C-alpha cells in the first residue's frame, strides 16, 4: 500500500527538511510514501483531488494561510488527516474546528514527527478498511462505507445515499455491488444495494433503510433475508467476542 501525502509549505527549506524526515520514516518503518509538494495554499486547492491520506499544512504562508486553506479543504474532503505546521501554538484551538489531527511546532524535529506520523498512519490503516474511492463529476471522492446507507441506480446514474448527503455519478449497479460486497452490502432488487448496518426493519416486501422505505423484489427476497440474517448473526457474535 502506497500512502499519498501532500505538503503545503511556502518555505522551501522547511519543506526539504520535512521531506527528509518523511523519507527517513519510510525507510525505517518500511512504508511507501508518494509525496506531492505545493508551495501555496491556492495551488494546492486548485489542484486538489481526494487521493491523499495525509496533508501537512503550514499555517503561516503568504497569500492564503493554512487555517483558511483547511476550511476550504474540508469542503472538498471531510476525511483526509491534517497535520498543521506552525510556530504559533495559539492556533491549536482553532485547528480543532477543522478536525486537525495534530500540530508540529517549528523548528520540527524527527522525534516529534515520528510520533505524530505513527499516530496518523494508524488512523489511515483503520480508515482504509472502511472507505472506498468513487468518481464524481468534479473528480474523485473518498467515502465512508459506514455512512453509506444504500446505492440506487436510475437509468445509467448511480446515487450513493450517505448519511447527510447524496452523491451521483455514471455507472452500473453490478460494478458497485462487486466493490461493496466485502463490506456486507446486499442487493434487495434490481435498483438497490443496501447497507445492513442501516436496515431498521423489514415488513413484507418493504425494507426501511434509515428514514427511507425501499422495495424487496419477490425473486430476491428469500436470498436477501438469508444473507441479512447471517450478517446479523455475525454481528452479534462479534459483539459477544468483544
- Quote the pLDDT of residue 152: 96
- Quote the pLDDT of residue 184: 85
CA distance 86 to 143: 29
- Quote the pLDDT of residue 127: 57
The whole-chain average pLDDT of the chain stands at 85
* The pLDDT of residue 165 is above 90: no
Question: 135 vs 235, which has greater pLDDT?
Answer: 135
CA distance 96 to 74: 12
| Close Cβ partners of 54 (under 8 Å, ≥ 6 residues apart) | 3, 4, 5, 6, 80, 81, 82, 83, 120, 121, 124
For 42-93, how does the pLDDT look when each residue is reduced to its tens digit (9 = 90+)? 999 999 887 788 999 999 999 999 999 999 998 887 778 899 998 766 655 5
Q: How far is CA 222 from the centre of its chain?
A: 34
Q: How far is CA 233 from the centre of its chain?
A: 28
| Torsion sign over Cα 187, 188, 191, 195 | negative
* The pLDDT of residue 111 is above 70: yes
Q: In the predicted model, what is the mean pLDDT of residues 199-224?
A: 91
* The pLDDT of residue 187 is above 90: yes
CA distance 85 to 65: 11
- Quote the pLDDT of residue 129: 55
- Quote the pLDDT of residue 238: 46
- Quote the pLDDT of residue 237: 45
Helix and strand counts by DSSP (H, E) for the chain = 7, 15
- Quote the pLDDT of residue 239: 43
Contact by Cβ (8 Å): 104, 85: yes
CA distance 84 to 120: 12
Question: 139 vs 112, which has greater pLDDT?
Answer: 112
Instruction: Note the maximum CA span of the chain.
Output: 66
For 25-48, how does the pLDDT look when each residue is reduced to its tens digit (9 = 90+)? 999 999 899 999 999 999 999 998
Question: 62 vs 1, which has greater pLDDT?
Answer: 62
- Quote the pLDDT of residue 143: 82
Contact by Cβ (8 Å): 59, 84: yes
* The pLDDT of residue 157 is above 60: yes
CA distance 163 to 159: 13
- Quote the pLDDT of residue 132: 80
Of 43, 89, 102, 37, whose CA–CA distance to 69 is shortest?
A: 43
- pTM here is 0.57
- Quote the pLDDT of residue 131: 75
| Close Cβ partners of 126 (under 8 Å, ≥ 6 residues apart) | none
Q: What percent of the chain has pLDDT over 70?
A: 88
* The pLDDT of residue 11 is above 50: yes
Q: In the predicted model, what is the mean pLDDT of residues 168-188?
A: 88
How distant, in Å, are the alpha carbons of 4, 139, 182, 216, 220 from that of 114?
17, 32, 33, 51, 51
- Quote the pLDDT of residue 241: 45
Amino acid at each position: 500500500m502506497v500512502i499519498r501525502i501532500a505538503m503545503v509549505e511556502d518555505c522551501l527549506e522547511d519543506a526539504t527538511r520535512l521531506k527528509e524526515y518523511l523519507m527517513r520514516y519510510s525507510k525505517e518503518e518500511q512504508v511507501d510514501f508518494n509525496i506531492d509538494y505545493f508551495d501555496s495554499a491556492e495551488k494546492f486547492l486548485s489542484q486538489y483531488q481526494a487521493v491523499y491520506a495525509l496533508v501537512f499544512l503550514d499555517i503561516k504562508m503568504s497569500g492564503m494561510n493554512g487555517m483558511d486553506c483547511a476550511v476550504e479543504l474540508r469542503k472538498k474532503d471531510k476525511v483526509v488527516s491534517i497535520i498543521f505546521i506552525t510556530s504559533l501554538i495559539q492556533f491549536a484551538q482553532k485547528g480543532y474546528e477543522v478536525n486537525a489531527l495534530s500540530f508540529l511546532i517549528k523548528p520540527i524535529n524527527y522525534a516529534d514527527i515520528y510520533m505524530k506520523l505513527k499516530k496518523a498512519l494508524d488512523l489511515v490503516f483503520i480508515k482504509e478498511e472502511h472507505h472506498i474511492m468513487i468518481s464524481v463529476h468534479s473528480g474523485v471522492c473518498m467515502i465512508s462505507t459506514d455512512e453509506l446507507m444504500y446505492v440506487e441506480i436510475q437509468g445509467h446514474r448511480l446515487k450513493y445515499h450517505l448519511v447527510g448527503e447524496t452523491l451521483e455519478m455514471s455507472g452500473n449497479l453490478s460494478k458497485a455491488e462487486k466493490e461493496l460486497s466485502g463490506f456486507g452490502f446486499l442487493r434487495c432488487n434490481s435498483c438497490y444495494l443496501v447497507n445492513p448496518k442501516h436496515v431498521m426493519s423489514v415488513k413484507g416486501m418493504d425494507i426501511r433503510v434509515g428514514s427511507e422505505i425501499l422495495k424487496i423484489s419477490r425473486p430476491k427476497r428469500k436470498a436477501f433475508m438469508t444473507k441479512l440474517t447471517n450478517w446479523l448473526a455475525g454481528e452479534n457474535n462479534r459483539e459477544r467476542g468483544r
